[in-house]
Every structure is written in C-alpha cells, then in structure tokens.
Amino acid sequence: MVTAVVVLAGPVPSALAHGDDPSPGPRVVADGLDNPRQLNWDQEGDALVVAEAGRGGDNCVEDRCGGPSGAVTLIEDPRRDAPTVSRVVEGLFSLAGPGGVFAEGPSGADATDVTGQYAIAGYDPERADLAVPTARGGSLLVAGTEEDGEEYLVPYADLQAAEEELNPDGAQVDSNPYAVLYVDEDDEVSPDGYALVADAGANAVWKVEPDFSTATEDALPEYEITVFASWPTTALPDGSDDPAGPAEFVPTSLAADKDGNVYVGGLGALRPGEASVVKFSADGTELDRWDGFTGVNGVAVDDRHLYVSQLFGPTPPMPPGESPAEEAPEAAGGSPAEEAPASGEAPASGEVPGQVVVLHRHEEDAVRYAIDVPLPAGLATGHHGEVYASVNSVATAEGIPAGPMNPLGAAVGGGAVWELDFSDAYRLEAAEATEE
C-alpha cells in the first residue's frame, strides 16, 4: 500500500498572496466549458487560451462516442469581473464517455505568432478510429481565420506517424497529444519558432519545427518532428503494468519561464506520490526535477513559484474493493439522482478530489502548500500575481450528477476556469511509501 501525502495545518507564506485586492475563495472567470484542459496566454499576454476537449458526439462504439464538439475558447482580460468569453475555434474531434464526460480530444492549445492562429494538440478527424484507441490520429492541428474572414483547420503535423517511426519509449505505438507550447524564438537557430507537444501516449515531448521557406499562398510550411524529451515504459509484454517497477512518466502538461526553460508535468500512472515535474533547458537538457506528486495534469510558473495541478490528488479514486474506503473521495450524500453543482459553486471539502500545489522553485526541498480545487487541469499565472486553473476538467458544461454512472461518487460541477485564492493554503508533508 502507498501512503498518501499527509496534510498538516500551517500558515501559508506571505509570498503566496495573489492579486491586488483578493476576495476570499476562488473567483469564477468563465463557466459553461466542456472538459476544459490546458491554459495558455495569447501572444499579447492579455487573453487566456483554453483548450476544451469537448463532449464527444453521436458516432459511438460501445461506451465511447465521437464527434466535432472540441473547441478553443478565448477569455479576454480575465481580471475583469465580466471578461469577454468566445469560442475562436470549433468543430474539433472529441471522444467521450456517457454524457460527454472524461473526454479525449483537443486537450492543449496555444496561440502562435500569427494573429488569430492557434496550435492545437488533438486528433485528425479523418483518421481517428473509435474502435482502436491506439489509432486516434494524434496530430498537431493549426486553426485560425484568414484576412477575408474564412476559417481554416489543418491537421498540420502527423504525430501518429512520428510515433510509428520513432517510438521513443519502445513500447506500444500510441499517440495521445495532451498539451502544446508554442515557442517564438525569432533567432538564427529557429527564426520561425516551433511547437512542443506533450504526447501522453508516446511518453514523449515532440518538437515540431516548421520550415517557412517551403510555405506558399495555398499551403502551410513543411515541418520536422524530433524528440525533445522521452521517458521509458514499465509495461510488461502482456500489456499490464509492473506494480514493482517505477510508474511511467506520461507527460500531460507544459509551461515555460521567462528564461525559456520548459517544465513538463507527468501523470505518473495515477499512483499516489509517483508523479513528477521536470525542468528542461530550451535545448532539452534536464535541469531540475520535483517528485512526490499525484496525477499531474497542469503546471505553471512565475518568477519564484511552481504550481502543479493534481487531478485526483492527493489520492486518486479507485474502483470499489481495490482501495481502502478512507482513500476514496467522500460522497456528496443525497439520492443517486443528485444534480451536479453549478460551475461557480465550490464543492465542500472532500466531496470532489483535486489539489493545486505550490512551492518555491528556487529553494532546495521547498515546503509545499496546497489548496483544494475540484479536478484541476491547466494552470496559468498572470502579470499581477493571479493564478488561473481549469476546474471540473473531466466534466461537461452541465457537470456530472451523482449516481451509479459517476466513478467519482460525488456530483461534479460544470467545466470552468477559476482565479485561485491561496490565502487558506495548507502545508503538505513529503509523501512516504510504505508496504503492508
């Protein structure tokens, strides 16, 4: 058995106070989102780019349904009480479970250096095979609007083909792109910029470099895909996971600091305390590492701090009979037909799992603090100390009602983006692994 992170009450450092005039508790910045995931800033730095993994569709195979419900949403000036929220890209391929929950689709999006253009980590709808999860057609898509107002969506870089050719972890061939980071260097080494893509299926971060000398009026430039970083697999020949070996890294999230260093968060097979965040230089050299997280699904940095989303943290829910009752998330109570709370409602502590952890990234063995955030994913830091998170990230805009079809037990609110409040953050002790 693995002992989960122990929570101790303690004062939060004054350095973690955020915002010019913070009010108690989180602030709802935008709601009505379907499975919101990665957050990024646009090139001007004044609007949040939100990847919505969608809610599936009408084309079903067994209990998974696909359709063009994925999107990219823009939140302009999120510090305002009522920011402008608009979907700037629609019709992206999405695959989801019953009711549109736990969607797979465009989980990552970032603005490029072309006004109104977005790089998206998702699937090629012409190639995705619902019956074969490992043939989802993982791609880096490019979407935007021409000067004449005509919209375009292009499956630009074929990540599935790169995985089939390179297979960095040497295991099952699978491309499941989960986050994207557009890097605009504008230097002699990479004058056109490039994209990094965290591919959870390939257990790698791809580097996609365009060659704009090949671009024409009718076609995007050709590109080259190389491996920026990769991690080994622990899968056995029969496809099972080795419980005695290390958890697979499974990259899910990307962020960069002002010096161009790249931070990669890994899911860690959802084992308590076995997820990590790794810091790389711009050329892919590993510089630092933070271990002991659970189910990392989002990372962000500011000048001093590292912020980490633990999707199910500190301990993920397990099927009945496979985990001690005290490790499962507490049920919300009420009848099985209990409705999901609204997007703007913060659930009572313990009802819905999830944490956002913060630490001083320049200190060795820095103390970690956390706040409870329901099912968080993407994170982004603002210019004035704000921290934004996509919440209820496996739910549709309507949320997930409690009942037998809900593996989380408690009702979950609708997908939303919050500005977080760390005034009530509590201190975390280091995780300790023990066996019984």
Q: Is the pLDDT of residue 302 over 50?
A: yes
Q: Hunting for tokens 């009945």 — which residue is that?
A: 320
400 domain residue, yes or no: yes
In the chain, the number of structural domains is: 1
Phi, psi of 214 (to 5 degrees): -95, -5
Q: Are 395 and 347 in contact (CB under 8 A)?
A: no
Separation of alpha carbons 436 and 434, rounded Å: 7
Asked if the structure places residue 433 within a domain, the reply is no
Q: Could you read off the pLDDT of 288-301 as tens digits, one per residue?
A: 999 999 999 999 99
Q: Per the domain annotation, does 142 fall within a domain? A: yes
Minimum mean pLDDT range among 176-190, 213-227, 256-270, 298-312: 176-190
Q: What is the pLDDT of residues 354-370, one digit of tens each?
A: 999 999 999 998 999 99
Stated as kind and residue range, the H or E segment containing 286 is strand 286-293
Can you give the pLDDT at residue 42? 94
- 436 within a domain of the structure (yes/no): no
Question: For residues 10, 420, 34 and 77, what is the CA-based torsion angle, rounded to 10 degrees?
Answer: -170
Range of the domain at 353: 7-428
CATH number at residue 108: 2.120.10.30
Does the pLDDT value for residue 142 go beyond 70? yes
The pLDDT tens digits of the residues spanning 152-167 come to 999 999 999 999 999 9
| Residue 20 is assigned to a structural domain of this protein | yes
The CA-based dihedral angle spanning residues 36, 398, 391, 388, taken in that order and rounded to the nearest 10 degrees: 80
pLDDT value at position 324? 32
What is the distance between the alpha carbons of residues 233 and 171, in angstroms, rounded to a whole number? Answer: 7
Q: CB within 8 A of 259, min separation 6: which ones?
A: none
Percent of the chain with pLDDT over 90: 60
Choose from 164-173, 204-213, 308-317, 370-379 the range with maximum mean pLDDT.
370-379
Residue 434 counted as domain residue = no
User: Between residues 216 and 194, which one has the greater pLDDT?
Assistant: 194
Give domain status of residue 61, yes or no.
yes
Residue 132 identity? V
Whether 179 contacts 38, CB under 8 Å: yes
Number of H helices, E strands in the chain: 1, 27
Task: Establish if 354 belongs to a structural domain.
Answer: yes
Helix, strand and coil in the chain, % to nearest 5 = 5, 40, 55
